[in-house]
Structure 1
């Protein structure tokens, strides 16, 4: 008799008995209330709890979202990773964690479109739901955009990593910061200078963190496309998902004609961000994945245009 036939003859205990075999026990007596208004509410306890808390909330919350763009595809569905929070005064024990996800679910049923205006509205409502004077929400998401080969016009999809960070205070209003990390090609100026021919190149990662001006209008400006252009237009060459041989020739020659150190990238990108009216302050970082070293090359700078105006 083979093993399959033996298995067919096996008489298993019932599912309830199997659970008990692996440690399940019968329910014990129920003495605590089951109605919400009769349950203890520890989070809303009022005492002197020693310190104020700057932020308490939940993070790593993944949820479907819709985003719009002035680049193709203009409307896309993606996955957002959220962090929600608010402050807690010294006299309060804690927050009601379920209210964060209740707020998220409300917007989900209304079709959660991630834009600056909606995120501002979200934080105001979240503060009211939490019965706090402030609230914050951060969402990270991949943003996809179509890219054509420079000669063939054959299209493919690239993506960049985007973040929107909105902080709301009842007295101070909203503070909005956006971040975009895009990938570029850089060709080493030193390698080009010292070599008889050729030069090594690498993939660069440009991260731009920008504080938006209070009057920023997302209907007029797609901040994602603007930051991407600041990174890519100052690179040795752009990254392409589809390259035929004529495309590759053009990209390779363009990179050779536009050598860039990481120091060059952050300064050139900073110049573009400086000229954007919707940018109040910014941080720029470039990290090159070196092709002839095991280490990465990095450079960064920050600038506050508002501080410049007060000097």
Structure 2
């Protein structure tokens, strides 16, 4: 018995829908890893297409079919292929995809060299049609900042705090997640580690004290570094400090 395909029926209301698809799908994926070649993680996936005005609905199962075909390695150099598959399977002019996922980098403590894993929240956003495609890589990097004003006016000590640097980079060519993480960490008073022993704690405390930064300094430092990279034609930088002596956060944003 042939089953009715209700989604393919015509709609007479003459209203296209900008995005229609599946959202908040938890899915295992494999990513390129600069050090270990491959990394397995769990992503939250959003997949959409433009629905023409005369289509009643879309075929949700076809989004998952495309994801199934590509989950063995989500390579940002092949996102265009995934977008094209979505448009072809769903007979759509535009397609969109988003992957939110934790990415893990093994780091050595600065003195003891003990290795541990740091987690970074990342996101890949892409959209395209038959003529153009745009791809964005987002990273959220924990950082340490030490207040220059506090250091200048205090007889001893200075207040510091944990913060976060968020980079959203449009990619014209391939860029490693690790590269953006390194730009953010090197632009702060000190980077953050998941495991430190006492000699390491002494080192990072003194490094931050000798390298005071406002959120404005960190945002500008990151911007200067990213501006040198021809693979990144457009980017935004957001820095937020979770202040240790105020009842508010300090914030800076640059869009280039």
SS at match of 2:10: coil
Q: Which has the bigger relative contact order, CA under 8 A and spacing at least 6? A: 2
| Matched residue SS, 2:30 | strand
> How far apart, in 2, do the equivalents of 1:278 and 1:265 lie?
21
Aligned counterparts of 2:179 and 2:25: Cα–Cα separation in 1: 28
Q: Secondary structure at the match of 1:206?
A: strand
CA RMSD of aligned residues (A): 1.4
Matched, 1:287 2:240: yes
Match of 1:203 in 2: 162
By how many angstroms is 1:53 displaced?
Answer: 1.4
Contact residue 183 and residue 203 of structure 1 kept, 8 A: yes
Question: Structure 2 residue aligned with 1:132, among 92, 98, 115?
Answer: 92
Map Cα deviations across residues 255-277 of structure 1 (whole Å, 9 max, x no partner): 01111111111111111111111
Runs of 5+ in structure 1 lacking a partner?
Answer: 1-34, 304-311
- Between the two proteins, the alignment pairs up a number of residues equal to 256
Of structures 1 and 2, the larger Rg is shown by 1
What secondary structure is seen at the aligned counterpart in 2 of 1:98? helix
> Is 1:190 aligned with 2:149?
yes
Distance apart, 1:117 and its partner CA? 2.3
Map of 1:46-195 to 2, 5 A cutoff? 46-71=10-35, 73-108=36-71, 111=72, 113-170=73-130, 172-195=131-154
Deviation string, structure 1 residues 246-296 (Cα, Å, up to 9, x no partner): 211111111011111111111111111111111010110011111112321
Distance in 2 of aligned mates of 1:77 and 1:169: 29
* Matched-pair contact (CA < 8 Å) for 2:52–2:92: no
Equivalent positions of 1:271-310 (< 5 A) are 271-303=224-256
Unaligned 5+ segments in structure 2 are none
Q: Distance in 1 between matches of 2:11 and 2:201?
A: 68
User: Does the CA contact (< 8 Å) of 1:49 and 1:93 recur in 2?
Assistant: no
